[in-house]
Each structure stands twice: as C-alpha cells, then as structure tokens.
Structure 1
Amino acid sequence: MAKVIGVGGVFLACRDADATKAWYVRVLGLEVNDFGGFHFTHSHSAEAFGEGARTIFAPFGSAEYFAPSTLPFMLNLMVDDLDGILARAAAEGVEEVQPRQDYEYGRFGWIMDPDGRKLELWEPPRG
C-alpha cells in the first residue's frame, strides 16, 4: 500500500524572509543551502540519536500548546545540544517562553522566532 514515509519540507511565509533566515543562522546555527533554505539529512540525526531520531507528525485538538504564538502550528526542531542552543539564543536576546522539560524521550526548550512562531527545541535521548 502506498503511504507517506516522511516530511519532505516545511515552508514558511515570513514578513521578511531574509531577516528570518539570518535569525535562524545566528540564533540556531543553521546553514543556508544552495536553494536559499535549510536542510537536514536523516543520516546525521540517526548517527547522533539512533532510533530516537524521528519526525513527529501530530494533529492537536487545540492550539493552546502553541501559546504564546497565535499561529495554529508550532515547529519542533531536533537539536544536538539543547543547552548550547538556548545559551546562544539568550546571547542574541531570545528568551525562553516556558521552562525546559526533561522526559525519557528527550529534553525540550521553547523560544519564539521573529515571525511569532513557537519553536520547540528537542534533544532526543542518545543511543
């Protein structure tokens, strides 16, 4: 049976796309690819996190979890060093919007991007 096997991309409308790209480079350490966006190879996340590396696709019954954003979605970005990313974000004046949380399935922190999107930063467990 034919089925979806992954997320091929996420495309965002931005007030100022160049400024948003620059923010993602400066605050989150992403590198712009040849097409003007960012890409993540599955092999890199699998190398770092083994079976813990995965993409979650989950409909929510309410957007309360996405607050303080008023948008009807949130981005969850897998990171290799949550504390390091959040320290760099703080140095850039980006505040965490809720306390960090640790679970058996990983560590989480939350910030907002320049366009008001809530970003859930997820460091999966190693191994």
Structure 2
Amino acid sequence: MPFSLEGGAMGKVIGVGGVFFACADPGATKDWYVRVLGLEATDFGGFMFSHETSAETCGKGAMTIFAPFDAKADYFKPSDLPFMINLMVDDLDAVLTRCKDEGVDEVQPAESHEYGRFAWIMDPDERKIELWQPIG
C-alpha cells in the first residue's frame, strides 16, 4: 500500500474508469462501433463494459492493461495517433467475421500468445483497435 511522507495511507488508482477521445463526427463513430463491433450504446452516448461480465468470461484473466510505449515504437501503426484502444472480446473469430461482413479488414495478421489471441482493425477515425480474446 502506498504511504505519504507523513506515514499515513494514501489513495491509489484501482483501474481505468474510461477512455474518451475526440472524433470528427462522434455520431458516425458511435454508429460504427455499434454496427461493426456490436457494442450497445448507453443513454449518454458512450459504451459501458461490466467488470463482472469480463470476469465471468475470463475468470482471473480479466484485467485492464495500462502501459506507456516509446514514442518511436511502431506498434500503433498504421495509425498515426499516439495511442491504440484494446477491446476484450469473448469470441475473436465471430467478431472478425462481423468486421469482415461490414467491410472492415484486419490491418495485420492475427497472433496467438499464451495470454490470448489478438487481431487489429482501424476505426473510421484511423484509430488502431486491438481485439483481444484472453485465455481464461
């Protein structure tokens, strides 16, 4: 547990509470996420993910990664934006089929690792989206 200089306990960050980003046309971007990725929009115009739902699907593997990258890294390419959004999915093949049906192609070959399967697409604002199916 972190401590202050006075020796008392301090608060700590316990997770990512949201990801917020600017868009040329927020309505069109929201509609793309609904149509292509099957997300359900909330009344406030965004999307919510339940930690309970991801824990049910992934067990103890349910987590959010928060990691800085070297500014010269090419991991976010072909996007020119300095960040990427990773979305956890329960069935990567089904999500990729939906993407393909909507005319959205993968931007690099899918990969499998001991901690999950990954695929990458671009959203309409040229943000790279990493789709991650954790191994539960």
TM-score tier by shorter-chain length is over 0.9
**1:30 and 2:33 matched:** no
Identity of aligned residues (%): 69
- After superposition, the C-alpha distances for 1:7-48 in whole angstroms (9 at most, x for unaligned) are 001111011100000000000000001211100010000000
Unaligned segments of structure 2, at least 5 residues: 1-9
Q: Which residue of 1 aligns with 2:127?
A: 117
Higher relative contact order (CA 8 A, sep 6+): 1
Q: Secondary structure at the match of 2:132?
A: strand
State the 1:122 CA deviation.
Answer: 0.2
Unaligned segments of structure 1, at least 5 residues: none
Structure 2 CA distance for aligned equivalents of residues 57 and 123 of structure 1 = 17
Q: Which residue of 2 aligns with 1:54?
A: 63
Structure 2 CA distance for aligned equivalents of residues 53 and 27 of structure 1 = 23
1:10 aligns with one of 15, 19, 31: 19
Bigger fraction of residues in helix: 1
- After superposition, the C-alpha distances for 1:41-90 in whole angstroms (9 at most, x for unaligned) are 10000000001110000000134100000000000000011011111001
Q: Which residue of 2 aligns with 1:100?
A: 110
| TM-score of the aligned structures, taking structure 2 as reference length | 0.91
What is the RMSD computed on CA atoms of the aligned residues?
Answer: 0.7
List, as ranges, runs of 4+ consecutive aligned residues in structure 1 with deviation greater than 3 Å: none
